[in-house]
Structure 1
Amino acid sequence: MSQNHDARDPIFALSDELVEAFAAQCPAHATLAGVPCDDGAWNDWSPSGAASWAATLASFQERLRSLPAPSPGAEARWGRLARRVMSDYLDERLDDFRHGEHLRDLNNIESAFQHLRMVFDLMDVRSAAGWEAVASRLATLPEACERYRASLEEGRRTGQVVARRQVLAVLSQARHQAGEGSFFLTLPAAYEASGVATDAGRARLAAGAEGVRAAFSALAGYLEQIYLPSAREADAVGEERYLRLARRFLGASIDPIETYAWGWSEVHAIEAQMARLAAEIRPGASLPEVIALLKTDPARCAHSADEFLRVMAERQRKALAELDGVHFDIPVPLRQIDVRLAPPGGALGAYYVPPSDGFKRPGTIWYAPGDKQQFPLYDEITTAYHEGFPGHHLQCALQVYLDDRLSRLHRFLVMYSGHAEGWALYAEQLMYELGYFERPEYVLGMLAAKLMRAYRVALDIGMHLELPIPRDAPLHAGAPWSYDIAVEYLHQRAFLTVDHARSEATRYLGWPGQAISYKVGERVVLQLREELRRLQGEAFDLKAFHARVIGSGSVGLDHLREIVLEDAAAGAAG
């Protein structure tokens, strides 16, 4: 890595300053982002802390606007990119504050509540200094909880509250962390295994863990006794808020009615493909019967968590080795990727965490399988490519690596779900096209994943905008959407377990607009690929296309279209 962008453009120094301000005022999120910070400190999630951070963002917005105009020409393209990225970042976050989103930051999967625990997954637990930071964060977590509670209470007082379903989901998670299965009770064993344990450290860790459990118990009590009675009954957030939040995830506006109809058309097309493939796997059996076979057949499952992780890690190694230099140019630091189990107590599924600054912390795929005793593989192969390589790991780790062109803000703090999830879903399709689903059940698993993402479009828009289920739909045709109907669709039509279906439906209702980003993002990437093929004909280069899509870091989908087509036009002119 090297600093080759135009250092004369003041935008890069301003970006560095903003990241340093972020690290100072939002240290928990800085740890999550892999930015060096005081790893023993917490964000101030109180209303006054939020106001302070908003004022900081507003000051940077003014400084950005006062910068001299960027230089013209191709040599200054990275400076222009850095300006637009910072401008969008500041506009979006200040818009969140204006709409009071920080006062209703509570849901089952991605809110400050989950960050209170998840941050410990990404801390240094190998050195004495790292454990000192862990002990410090444990000791001060009760205060961080109280400040977070103060913002929720301000939201409750002013009528900016979340739905009961989200409160109940977080209540369950809080009770888990307060109970005997708490993640924090695993820390003493990890401390002993580190080889740096001392008597004083053991005492601090034990006291901190008990204090944290008490803090989660107190937060659960507040949510149950005070917040829950004021929570909204309705899950739907309505069209105005939904479209605003969806634009934040996508970096593009959508026509919700057209997108809803398109989501259903994708559902029907994918279901037809799956039915044909199921007939090949087990002639005479129905699609649900084939899925049930793939979930239960011991020959098609891993039989322990360790075996499952080994299989997933091997998929990463093979893909990295065989595609490097052919369809992607993979820098050396990106060739390391960890595969781990997530601590219990959170939402089910899999997720990816990018590497830290300087790649001291590698990119990691985290799996949260719940209470599975065996691990069906038919639908996990596609997840491996989505979360790891060439999906999120390639895209996100490359963004961290590209300090010769991207601002520091862009590398660590900017991630558009439409771009990220669209690329990762495209990566699944690409690996199918390249022959990496060597068994028909793995292809069926890829299609099942696509089907779930298509149903996400229908369910997410349908539930939040309270649209009717289409007349040609397979279940509850013409009826209004409800949580129970969404769970039924996810279980019976998208083949999720009941627990996973409930977790997913709760997620969509608590994280409006995010669930559509997968298929909508993939739609844009595939449209751009076909558009370039038409424009370039025989000169079309798939590897160059991939470099265009992910080589400018994560951007909004409207911005991505400009970048890809601008590069294509420049190449044609050259």
Structure 2
Amino acid sequence: MAAYAVAVSQDHDARDPIFALSDEFVEAFAARCPAHATLAGIPCDEGAWNDWSPSGAASWASTVASFQERLRSLPPPRSGAEARWGRLARRVMADYLDERLDDFRHGEHLRDLNNIESAFQHLRMVFDLMDVHSAAGWEAIASRLEGLPRACDSYRASLEEGRRTGQVVARRQVFAVIEQARYQAGDASFFLTLPAAHEASGCGAGAGRARVADGVERARAAFGALAGYLEQTYLPSARAADAVGEERYLRLARRFLGASIDPIETYAWGWSEVHAIEAQMARLAGEILPGASLPEVIELLMTDPARCAQGADEFLRIMSERQRKALADLDGVHFDIPAPIRHIEVKLAPPGGALGAYYVPPSDGFKRPGTVWYAPGAKQAFPLYEEITTAYHEGFPGHHLQCALQVHLDDRLSRLHRFLVTNSGHAEGWALYAEQLMYELGYFERPDYVLGMLAGKLTRAYRVVLDIGMHLELPIPRDAPLHAGEPWRYEIAVEYLHRRAFLPLEHAHSEATRYLGWPGQAISYKVGERVVLELRDTLRRRHGEAFDLKAFHARVIGSGSVGLDHLREIVLDDAAP
């Protein structure tokens, strides 16, 4: 199966009732969770909000449970190759519903607060993905602005129920969100950019202009009120300890990976990856600047104006050119790229959130293109040594190819699978593999860029040891370069990220806070890459000279995002001689 397009019936109902049930669930999701529907690119009432309150969460959990029962009541799936997509859709939907209900049973909605990926961030991010080019789009934005205080109230109600019942997050996460909320309530708020954008759209006249302006002030006030609640009421009840403990950590890690891990083995493997990557970087640094130490070479690459993009416009242009060249060169050679996927946008994220880069998939029908967003903080110069590898990770052939392809594959994947399912181990593992692949194909044309790729791998390896080490409160190995034999704590993690992984101090603080607030996610990059590379090695040994790299890529991403255990089954079964 070298190509992604396959000759199967477009009539899902004729193949398996799972597809109709999936469509119905997505419609229910869009009606009940419209903010998340916007984020996922699903048509919905763009002016509406989720009900994040405890009663809203319980009602949605009841709906999810009803779909779970209906799924279990479907007639048995057919056998045979022609029915494989129906069987895939059943398993993916069953896993998705199980995960949602497991989260509800464990009260995860009552402690949905962290510095990077929680309902709090979604309250602001959803506006990045709304239509700003039509009168209807601005009508929806105005409605969402007006309804944002009620949405914040419903979210606060769940946080308050968590506080009342002792299901709270750590103080560090609360401090981070208070800072973000104060930013959005203040004079640099993203919301203050909306009136000018409304005017520039040509839709900014009369009552509509006044609605947007009034809505902006309502939104700022709502974020200010939420910051006040978190600071005055929630914070005194928040946990002092950052670590979540082994039971919760392993449960959440399994959710992100779609596979169980032995945390002690994985922690030791993470350290072995750290040592191997550091040795590679030291050798390469000697080639870039003979006689200099690795930190000295990194300092050069971070500060040399000739090695940096000067300003955001130049940086975005360079990143966009990288995407276009990779797409043009690799189409038909290592990937079969459907036409809608050949367009990708690169943008700066509004300030005020966590630092880094992220990808947002296209919407249904590709009206909204896949987009790489960069959140650089206060950067004015952009060191390119570390950004080339990020371009391939977040864009093509990383997240953009994988996620946009999933949206495109409506001839084989259920609608739930296409828009609501992302397994972090698969997604991040593929994106990290994409960096390695582009290195193997010669797209890191300067040793600076190779060192940047290795620096990214080093950060991901440190994520494994820091995430597991901090949450399980493991000791730092006796042969470690810093704080050997001590237990992990936040300050040590920041020091490792800054001094050993070479992250700027601001970014190191943001990263360490992220790991502590999003348990189990940080390991998904290297663990996922480990699985993808092991699968490639297995097939190479099995098929020898007949191994087809393009076909391997199609197998890994051609069935949509799945858990890592499921991915092993798909790739090895499909590849069987």
Q: Same fold (TM over 0.5)?
A: yes
> Normalization by structure 2: what TM-score?
0.98
Kindly provide the amino acid, as one letter, of the partner of residue 477 in structure 2.
Answer: P
**Aligned partner of residue 385 in structure 2, secondary structure:** coil
Q: Deviations over 1:74-132 (max 9, x none)?
A: 00000000000000000011000000000000000000000000000000000000000
Task: Find 2:457's aligned residue among 450, 453, 456.
Answer: 450
Q: Deviations over 1:519-558 (max 9, x none)?
A: 0000000000000011111111000000000000000000
Distance in 2 between residues matched to 1:535 and 1:193, nearest whole Å: 59
Matched residue, 1:545: 552
Task: Find 1:144's aligned residue among 148, 151, 159.
Answer: 151
User: Would the aligned equivalents of 1:243 and 1:253 in 2 still touch at CA under 8 Å?
Assistant: yes
Distance in 2 between residues matched to 1:209 and 1:116, nearest whole Å: 13
In the TM superposition, what is the alpha-carbon distance from 1:199 to its structure 2 partner? 1.7
**Aligned partner of residue 562 in structure 1, secondary structure:** helix
Distance in 2 between residues matched to 1:524 and 1:471, nearest whole Å: 28
Task: Find 2:25's aligned residue among 18, 23, 27.
Answer: 18
Matched residue, 1:7: 13
Distance in 1 between residues matched to 2:380 and 2:17, nearest whole Å: 55
Distance in 2 between residues matched to 1:539 and 1:429, nearest whole Å: 22
In the TM superposition, what is the alpha-carbon distance from 1:3 to its structure 2 partner? 5.8
User: Would the aligned equivalents of 2:389 and 2:435 in 1 still touch at CA under 8 Å?
Assistant: yes
Matched residue, 1:425: 432
**Aligned partner of residue 352 in structure 1, secondary structure:** strand
Matched residue, 1:406: 413
Distance in 1 between residues matched to 2:479 and 2:363, nearest whole Å: 48
Distance in 1 between residues matched to 2:457 and 2:351, nearest whole Å: 26
User: Would the aligned equivalents of 1:163 and 1:233 in 2 still touch at CA under 8 Å?
Assistant: yes
Aligned residues: 570
Distance in 2 between residues matched to 1:4 and 1:19, nearest whole Å: 18
Please list, as runs of the form range in 1=range in 2, the aligned pairs for 1:214-253 lying within 5 A after superposition: 214-253=221-260
Please list, as runs of the form range in 1=range in 2, the aligned pairs for 1:89-238 lying within 5 A after superposition: 89-238=96-245
In the TM superposition, what is the alpha-carbon distance from 1:474 to its structure 2 partner? 0.5
Please list, as runs of the form range in 1=range in 2, the aligned pairs for 1:378-527 lying within 5 A after superposition: 378-527=385-534
User: Would the aligned equivalents of 1:3 and 1:403 in 2 still touch at CA under 8 Å?
Assistant: no
**Aligned partner of residue 207 in structure 1, secondary structure:** helix
1:75 aligns with 2:110: no
Matched residue, 1:350: 357
Distance in 1 between residues matched to 2:147 and 2:236, nearest whole Å: 29
**Aligned partner of residue 379 in structure 1, secondary structure:** helix
Distance in 1 between residues matched to 2:149 and 2:203, nearest whole Å: 26
In the TM superposition, what is the alpha-carbon distance from 1:198 to its structure 2 partner? 1.0
Kindly provide the amino acid, as one letter, of the partner of residue 336 in structure 2.
Answer: D
Q: Deviations over 1:202-239 (max 9, x none)?
A: 10011000011111111111000000000000000000
Matched residue, 2:69: 62
RMSD: 0.8
Distance in 1 between residues matched to 2:258 and 2:205, nearest whole Å: 49
Distance in 2 between residues matched to 1:294 and 1:355, nearest whole Å: 34
Gap change, CA 1:5 and 1:76, over 3 Å in 2: farther
**Aligned partner of residue 350 in structure 2, secondary structure:** coil
Matched residue, 1:315: 322
1:288 aligns with 2:291: no
Kindly provide the amino acid, as one letter, of the partner of residue 81 in structure 1.
Answer: L
Kindly provide the amino acid, as one letter, of the partner of residue 446 in structure 2.
Answer: R
**Aligned partner of residue 13 in structure 2, secondary structure:** coil
Q: Deviations over 1:311-344 (max 9, x none)?
A: 0000000000000000000000000000000000
Distance in 1 between residues matched to 2:196 and 2:145, nearest whole Å: 16
Distance in 1 between residues matched to 2:557 and 2:9, nearest whole Å: 19
Kindly provide the amino acid, as one letter, of the partner of residue 269 in structure 2.
Answer: W
1:277 aligns with 2:284: yes
Task: Find 2:271's aligned residue among 264, 268, 272.
Answer: 264
Distance in 2 between residues matched to 1:234 and 1:197, nearest whole Å: 49
User: Would the aligned equivalents of 1:453 and 1:515 in 2 still touch at CA under 8 Å?
Assistant: yes
Distance in 1 between residues matched to 2:339 and 2:485, nearest whole Å: 54
Q: Deviations over 1:4-42 (max 9, x none)?
A: 365321000000000000000000000000000000000
Kindly provide the amino acid, as one letter, of the partner of residue 351 in structure 2.
Answer: P
Distance in 1 between residues matched to 2:544 and 2:283, nearest whole Å: 32
Distance in 2 between residues matched to 1:270 and 1:130, nearest whole Å: 48
> Normalization by structure 1: what TM-score?
0.99
Q: Deviations over 1:260-317 (max 9, x none)?
A: 0000000000000000000000000000000000000000000010000000000000
**Aligned partner of residue 365 in structure 1, secondary structure:** strand
**Aligned partner of residue 60 in structure 1, secondary structure:** helix
Distance in 1 between residues matched to 2:385 and 2:208, nearest whole Å: 45
Distance in 2 between residues matched to 1:3 and 1:550, nearest whole Å: 20
Distance in 1 between residues matched to 2:10 and 2:451, nearest whole Å: 45
User: Would the aligned equivalents of 1:32 and 1:122 in 2 still touch at CA under 8 Å?
Assistant: yes
User: Would the aligned equivalents of 1:5 and 1:405 in 2 still touch at CA under 8 Å?
Assistant: no
Matched residue, 2:92: 85
Distance in 1 between residues matched to 2:484 and 2:501, nearest whole Å: 17
**Aligned partner of residue 302 in structure 1, secondary structure:** strand
Q: Deviations over 1:423-482 (max 9, x none)?
A: 000000000000000000000000000000000000000000000000111100000000
User: Would the aligned equivalents of 2:12 and 2:20 in 1 still touch at CA under 8 Å?
Assistant: no
User: Which consecutive residues of structure 1, in runs of 5 or more, have no partner in the other structure?
Assistant: none
User: Which consecutive residues of structure 2, in runs of 5 or more, have no partner in the other structure?
Assistant: none
Distance in 1 between residues matched to 2:425 and 2:69, nearest whole Å: 28
Kindly provide the amino acid, as one letter, of the partner of residue 552 in structure 1.
Answer: S
Distance in 2 between residues matched to 1:450 and 1:370, nearest whole Å: 22
Matched residue, 1:535: 542
User: Would the aligned equivalents of 2:425 and 2:524 in 1 still touch at CA under 8 Å?
Assistant: yes
Distance in 1 between residues matched to 2:12 and 2:323, nearest whole Å: 35
Distance in 2 between residues matched to 1:58 and 1:50, nearest whole Å: 12
Distance in 2 between residues matched to 1:5 and 1:273, nearest whole Å: 52
Task: Find 1:554's aligned residue among 551, 555, 561.
Answer: 561
Distance in 2 between residues matched to 1:196 and 1:410, nearest whole Å: 36
